[in-house]
Amino acid sequence: MKFFQTTLCAMIAATTLVAIAAQENPTMHVSGTFDVTLAGQPADNPQARAAQIERMSIEKKYHGAIVGTSSGEMLSVKDERDTGAYVALEKVTGSLQGRSGTFLLAHSGFMSGGAIGHWSLEIVPDSGTGALAGLRGTMKFAVVEGARHSYELEYSLSGAR
């Protein structure tokens, strides 16, 4: 019986800590737009050229909940059936709802026959600096028109100041 009481007390304590953490670090949902400029870069190795892997630099200007810029790089590959994949890394510098700092984004995605199959954009855990230290989350984006895109960010900020 004592084992069950101790286990029950431990479970209640853990549940309470999770509830307190959720209150201290609520999940936020914000949105905005960004302008993106992609520029082709030469492939660094013969294997990448042979596989027709494209390398591009990324430059963005964020508007809305995120105000700032980013720089990054993307690798993509696509076949004649319009099936392919991409990965990208990006460093964002600016502010998120008035909190200044930097954070890193990791992208991956694929398409099949021209239809988007999956996109994943995640804030690299523990990459936030300044007032964005402790930032975690995921981002979704969509093409609005031309080079203008929209984003939705779901995030939490532990240790918020």
Residue predicted with more confidence, 159 or 30: 30
Of 14-28, 66-80, 127-141, give the lowest mean pLDDT range: 14-28
Q: What is the pLDDT of residue 147?
A: 66
- Candidates 150, 157, 120; CA nearest to 138 is 120
- 56-98 pLDDT, tens digit per residue, is 999 999 999 999 999 999 999 988 888 999 999 999 999 999 9
- Name the β-bridge partners of 43: none
pLDDT at 145: 67
Which of 22-31, 79-88, 126-135 shows the lowest per-residue confidence on average (mean pLDDT)?
22-31
Classify domain 28-157 by CATH number. 2.40.350.10
Print the SS3 string covering the chain.
CHHHHHHHHHHHHHHHHHHHHHHHCCCEEEEEEEEEEEEEECCCCHHHHHCCCEEEEEEEEEEECEEEEEEEEEEEEECCCCCEEEEEEEEEEEEECCEEEEEEEEEEEEEECCEEEEEEEEECCCCCCHHHCCEEEEEEEEEEECCEEEEEEEEEECCCC
pLDDT-based confidence at 117, cuts 50/70/90? confident
Q: What is the mean pLDDT of residues 91-118?
A: 93
